[in-house]
Structure 1
Amino acid sequence: MTDIGAAFRALHKPGDPFILANAWDAGSARMLAALGAQAIGTSSAAHAFTLGRPDMGHVSRDEALAHAQTLVSAVNIPVSGDFENGFGEAPDTCAETVRLAAETGLAGISIEDTALPADAPYDRDLATDRIRAAVSAARALPRDFILCARADGVMNGHYDMPEAIARIQAFEQAGADCVYIPLPPTFDDIATICQSVNVPVNVLVAGKFTSHLRLQYAKAGVARLSLGSALARATHRVIHDAAKKMFTDGDFSGLMPSISGSEIDALLK
């Protein structure tokens, strides 16, 4: 049987980034895989949207695990879980989350340093201990499992880039397989991040970072490009704009252009 974790690890090549295509249900996962995705990611925000909830700490671990298992069952490529803060503050909780995630068939997960449901970060030492415990649990598994450690305080406005880099360096020392500083201030910061560690770096392609090409990320040394909830938000933009036209002006033009049902059917088979 193929080691899905090992297959996922092999995709992480600094300077040759693959796209971790974040899906939100079985259908979107299958479409993305049929269109060329090499790996699928869950998205905590996009999943929350499907449940009619906001982002940031509003989905339980059991719900996230069940959702992940749905996506794993839908495709034949690696799936990585966006598991927020590991669903608890204690390092032991993060370790348990890794073990449960592996049981669903996930190839890896990411764990952030945010003390959800607030957006403030954990103390750096505690954040590092949490990653160390998660890594220890991953290494004890009977197969490979990729642990990505996130430093979210720049994105959330709670610490600066030097602190973020100090954190990912500590996460690397704790054994993280991949590190991640979502939405740094500038594109040039990405190369600095990649040069600051010796493990693969994930970059979130959202907002202003969508204006850069994969080749530019490759030159910066990136190994993995995730979409987060960006693709889900793009679909919600279509719903928003079409619905406003319909309900405000009785104008249905926002429903076009669309993709045909037969095209969708072919991708889902």
Structure 2
Amino acid sequence: MSPAPADTAQFRALHAQGQLLILANAWDALSARLVESVGGAAIATSSAAVAWAQGVPDGERLSFDRLLTATQDIVRAVRVPVSVDFERGYGASAAEVAANICRLAEVGVVGVNLEDGSEPPEVLAEKLAASREALRREGRDMFLNARTDVVLRHIHEGKQALDEIVRRGKRYVDAGCDGVFVPGLSKAEELAHVVEQLPVPLNVWAAPTLPSPEQLRALGVRRVSVGPRLALTAFSAARRDAEHVLAGRWGPTFEGKPLTYPELNAWFASGGA
């Protein structure tokens, strides 16, 4: 038996005032189940890690159909809500992006990140509006998280960057987004300013310079994600062990308590897939 799918209301509740949703981004059924097993309240995917797991570079090089299949595997494997890093929407037009988002909703996805990247903000606003309308027509709901890359791409610096983040964020809210994601924003005073200016939850990227969870809650930040960090950590450890074994050294390289065959097998034998 597959687990009962989570719903969008459950995911929205994780963004409530005073809460901080920390997302350890996954890339397949196994990594998603692992995150859930250590207390992840929801699963978010990393577009980069999903692409790499399929043997494809990041940057919408993966076909939407392959992304959809990988996403279905993740949704089936867990009981918590699943949100997808959807880059620019895997479509050439706002209508195509909206149709793709509806297909994700059909397989149980409750949220997506849509980014502006290097495109003008008007493009993302159009995608958000089209997606919200398409979801309404189908009687569906989804948490639309609008990612702006103002900081990440150094579009502006200092106060100009903050002003542009707020300007874009308000535009995206008007177009129907439920949250705003600003990777690269980490200073407490800047986070507080954006939280004060935007009426939707703020999502940031984990970084060594980011304030503590307690400070983030006090500032009003509602969500933190880590991008491809888990995948990079996992495959760094796997590479080290592969080098060790291929050199004829049989002892384990992992420090700490390793996962076991019975443990991982039980995750799915109990109904995860």
- Which TM-score tier does this pair reach, normalised by the shorter chain? 0.7 to 0.9
**1:14-39: CA deviations, max 9, x gaps?**
33112233211111111211221111
CA contact (8 A) 1:99 1:138 kept: yes
Q: Which residue of 2 aligns with 1:101?
A: 104
Query: Which one-letter code corresponds to 2:253 in the other structure?
Result: G
Q: Which residue of 2 aligns with 1:16?
A: 19
Shift of 1:86: 0.6
Q: Which residue of 1 aligns with 2:208?
A: 208
Q: Which residue of 2 aligns with 1:147?
A: 144
Q: Say which is worse superposed, 233-242 or 32-41, in terms of deviation.
A: 233-242
In structure 1, distance between residues paired with 2:6 and 2:32: 20
CA contact (8 A) 1:3 1:143 kept: no
**1:154-189: CA deviations, max 9, x gaps?**
212334332222111110111211111111263432
Query: Which one-letter code corresponds to 1:193 in the other structure?
Result: V
Please point out which of 126, 131, 142 is paired with 1:129. 126
CA contact (8 A) 2:5 2:108 kept: no
RMSD of equivalent CA atoms: 2.5
SS at match of 1:254: coil
Q: Which residue of 2 aligns with 1:71?
A: 74
Shift of 1:45: 0.7
Shift of 1:110: 1.2
Q: Which residue of 2 aligns with 1:233?
A: 232
CA contact (8 A) 1:161 1:184 kept: no
Shift of 1:145: 1.4
| Aligned CA distance change for structure 1 residues 58 and 22 (closer, same or farther; 3 Å) | same
In structure 1, distance between residues paired with 2:171 and 2:58: 27
**1:6-59: CA deviations, max 9, x gaps?**
111111113311223321111111121122111111110111121233322221
Q: Which residue of 1 aligns with 2:221?
A: 222
TM-score, structure 1 as length reference: 0.86
Q: Say which is worse superposed, 179-188 or 98-107, in terms of deviation.
A: 179-188
Please point out which of 74, 83, 87 is paired with 1:80. 83
CA contact (8 A) 2:151 2:182 kept: yes
Q: Which residue of 2 aligns with 1:118?
A: none
In structure 1, distance between residues paired with 2:97 and 2:23: 22
Shift of 1:197: 0.5
In structure 2, distance between residues paired with 1:55 and 1:2: 28
In structure 1, distance between residues paired with 2:50 and 2:227: 11
Q: Which residue of 2 aligns with 1:117?
A: none
Alignment pair present for 1:41 and 2:44: yes
In structure 1, distance between residues paired with 2:251 and 2:165: 47
Shift of 1:231: 1.4
Shift of 1:237: 2.6
Q: Which residue of 2 aligns with 1:164?
A: 165
Q: Which residue of 1 aligns with 2:31?
A: 28
Alignment pair present for 1:176 and 2:214: no
